[in-house]
Structure 1
Amino acid sequence: MNAPASNPEIGLSVATPTVTTNYHDQGAGDPVVLLHGSGPGVSAWANWRLTLPALAKQRRVIAPDLAGFGFTERQDGAHYDIDGWVAHLAGFLDALELDAVDLVGNSFGGALALHFALRYPNRVRRLVVMGAVGLSFPITDGLDAVWGYQPSVENMRKLLDIFAYNRELVSDELAELRFKAANRPGVQEAFAAMFPAPRQRWVDALACAEDELRELDKELLIIHGRDDDVIPMSVSLRLLEITQRSQLHVFGRCGHWVQIEHADRFNRLVGDFLSEPAMGDA
């Protein structure tokens, strides 16, 4: 494992069976793993910079750059799909010698969390998903724009406007910063290979089977922004309907950036959920 670099997006690194993985590791206690979304130029730090220190007050919090994203190693000609991302996450947990963890997944990361829990039920304690793909739905214009991003500062600014309900969080400086992150060597090439048009097929590929989700025997906190233009709230409502041990929290005046737009409330909600007795235990 390497020491952190001066760039806050670069944390520690560990070799997994497929790629060397960049990750952040803070706090102590039972481990919780944060899984980021699939926006252009995304990294674990970009998604979770406000969540990591808050949850680390009571837990060990680990946030990896998933295969193909951030500062995790990218391999020429790599093929990206849900099976590969599940395998990468399993190998990452093995490398850190973590048998069982809580998972918190944002958007694409929420879909990955659900798939991982279905395939490795003994390795997951509790689940939090926010604005998760999770189930199949007609692709929104917002998600189509995210996955179809073409590099420019102007296009990045348009995407940030889609993500956030509160436009005060979006600035030209932030757009420039995220454009530069998305434009590092190899980053856009990997991103373009993940979700080429037509993109409805990638929504369907990330969706879990409803019959399998009905059998999911995990405490599940579902979070959604009421004004999300990327993933419709109907997805989370349906997920609530078909899962056994779930609860849904909706944030008003909130887009696809719950963990940023309502950071303090989000962190309290997730922290309380991860520490409270399981349903039926109290």
Structure 2
Amino acid sequence: MLGTPKWIEINGIRTRYFDKGAGEPIALITGGNFGSPSSASVVEIWHGNFEVLSRQYRVIAFDKLGQGHTDNPANDDYRMQAVVAHAASFLSALGLRGIHIVGQSRGAMLAARLTLECPELIRSCTLVNTGTLSPGVGLNEVELSGCPFPPVSRESQRWVFERCAYRPESIVEPLVEAGYEVLRLPKYQEAVMKMTRGGLAETLFLRQLAPLKRETLQWISDAGLGRPTQIIWGYNDHTTTLEAAVDLFQLISSRDAGASFHLINEAGHHPFHEHPAQFNAIMLEFLARLRR
């Protein structure tokens, strides 16, 4: 859906990515986390944006550490901090500077951390539908619980995608197949085993994620993100709330008077997928404004 993938080794981690276009770089970051038993987040969800944005910019979409076709973390380091370190090394290995970083859901936490920790790499930051980063408690675990299909199945993959969407019919079969292909990978099933039966989801990933969120929000409150920022939000997302989005925007805009907020109607957790033309127009206008 995004063309021919490329591969690069990052500190011993074989990493898959897609790269197209020329000019200022845009990095697209998906949500999700390694070892989710019902569904895998895949970069193919950006298929309605990748081609259009690459006509004016260089666009990179990469599989995060342990997700998609990228290797699992070494030494069972199933933490968001390891995901951030891998992503920073990946972007540096490609020699990218002045990156327009775009992160959705848990990918927005990654985008924010990269902006804060590696400001020399980042030109702007776009945050999309994220309960992980927004103040308060995210609703992913509640909204996506009770899947009626067996884990690691094509049916569970489709159910989660459709559950996240305002229009279930927007979930096309190639997207489901891309996720199901990842679910069947031995390395992904190993991650599922360690995160669920091995307990690492509760004892390591989520336990470390909570203080990281508090630290990140405090950092933003104290000093801002330090780069031009916009929030794009699907109005009908059940995995988080509009109030959480507004709270996040208030926090960011208190330190960045130029920050902007865009609300897309009849859109769920992936507004860029359900309304690609509207999302792309928002992105291109934001980037054009930065150029001016």
**TM tier, smaller:** 0.7 to 0.9
Higher helix share: 2
Question: What amino acid sits opposite 2:157 in the alignment?
Answer: M
Unaligned runs of 5+ in 2: 34-38
Which deviates further from its counterpart, 94-103 or 202-211?
202-211
| Secondary structure of 2:233's aligned partner | strand
In structure 2, the residue matched to 1:4 is: none
Return the offset for 1:73.
2.3
Return the offset for 1:191.
4.5
**d(CA) in 1 for partners of 2:90, 2:228:** 23
Q: Is the 8 A contact 1:162 1:230 kept in 2?
A: no
CA pair 32-177 structure 1, distance change in 2 beyond 3 A: closer
**d(CA) in 1 for partners of 2:289, 2:13:** 35
Question: What amino acid sits opposite 1:226 in the alignment?
Answer: Y
In structure 1, the residue matched to 2:70 is: 72
Which deviates further from its counterpart, 99-108 or 58-67?
99-108
Q: Is the 8 A contact 2:135 2:248 kept in 1?
A: no
| Secondary structure of 1:209's aligned partner | helix
In structure 1, the residue matched to 2:82 is: 84
In angstroms, what is the RMSD of aligned CA positions?
Answer: 2.7
Identity %: 26
Asked if 1:25 is matched to 2:34, the reply is no
In structure 1, the residue matched to 2:125 is: 127
| Secondary structure of 2:48's aligned partner | coil
Return the offset for 1:174.
5.5
1:40-51 correspondence to structure 2 within 5 Å: 40-44=39-43, 46-51=44-49
TM-score between the two structures when normalised by the length of structure 2: 0.82
Question: What amino acid sits opposite 2:247 in the alignment?
Answer: R
In structure 2, the residue matched to 1:157 is: 158
Which deviates further from its counterpart, 10-19 or 119-128?
10-19
Cα offsets for 1:53-77 (capped at 9, x unmatched): 1111111111111110111123565
In structure 2, the residue matched to 1:229 is: 238
In structure 1, the residue matched to 2:137 is: 138
TM-score between the two structures when normalised by the length of structure 1: 0.84
Asked if 1:239 is matched to 2:248, the reply is yes
CA pair 156-202 structure 1, distance change in 2 beyond 3 A: farther
In structure 1, the residue matched to 2:115 is: 117
Q: Is the 8 A contact 1:111 1:206 kept in 2?
A: no
Return the offset for 1:161.
2.4
Match of 2:5 among 11, 19, 29: 11
Q: Is the 8 A contact 1:130 1:223 kept in 2?
A: yes
Structure with the bigger RCO (C-alpha within 8 Å, sep 6+) is 2
Q: Is the 8 A contact 1:127 1:219 kept in 2?
A: yes
For these two proteins, the number of residue pairs brought into alignment is: 270
**d(CA) in 1 for partners of 2:216, 2:71:** 31
| Secondary structure of 1:196's aligned partner | helix
In structure 2, the residue matched to 1:106 is: 104
